[in-house]
Amino acid sequence: MLSFGVEIPFVSHLGFTLHRMADGESELHYTARPEHFNSFEVTHGGATMTLLDVALATAARSVTPDMGVVTIEMKTSFMQPARGPLVARGRLIHRTRSIAFVEGTVYDAEGRACSHATGTFKYVPRAPAPQAIATD
């Protein structure tokens, strides 16, 4: 399992794990817990959209891991219920110096596409880590 490179509390809370972040591609795994289900007892669309958002952002960052990205816009299509362990794959389609165009799909354990998203992300410099202040 890989590291996202930064701590993302909401991603940690949901339990996403990073398995690929290289060459404009990403792969994340996620198994929804019962508190992440909707009333039909399948993964809530909001959790699925978050998984896609992170997969797209990670694909965009994979070519410039020292930069951060922020979501400008994202369109998601839901094709079927997301049940069981899920895999999200992101792919960088095109980038400029400051903008990334990406797409991604969430698959269920049988390899069926459950949802798909396209998005636009802006590259932003990461702020340097705060320096410890010495006290006497």
Closest CA to 123 of 59, 78, 77, 40: 59
The DSSP line for 86-102 is: EEEEEEEEEE-SSEEEE
> Given a cut of 60, is residue 129 above it in pLDDT?
no
Question: Residue 59 and residue 134: Cα distance in Å, rounded?
Answer: 38
Domain ranges of the chain: 9-125
Mean pLDDT of the chain: 92
The structure's pTM equals 0.91
Contact criterion met (CB below 8 Å) for 38 and 56: no
Residue bearing tokens 């998984």: 51
Which CATH number does the domain 9-125 belong to among 3.10.129.10, 3.40.50.1000, 2.60.120.330, 3.40.30.10? 3.10.129.10
pLDDT tens across 111-120, in order?
999 999 999 9
* pLDDT single digits (tens) 22-80: 999 999 999 999 999 999 999 999 999 999 999 999 999 999 989 999 999 999 999 99
Q: Quick check: 7 pLDDT over 90?
A: no
Residue 4 has pLDDT above 90, yes or no: no
d(CA 134, CA 126): 24
Residue 133 pLDDT exceeds 70: no
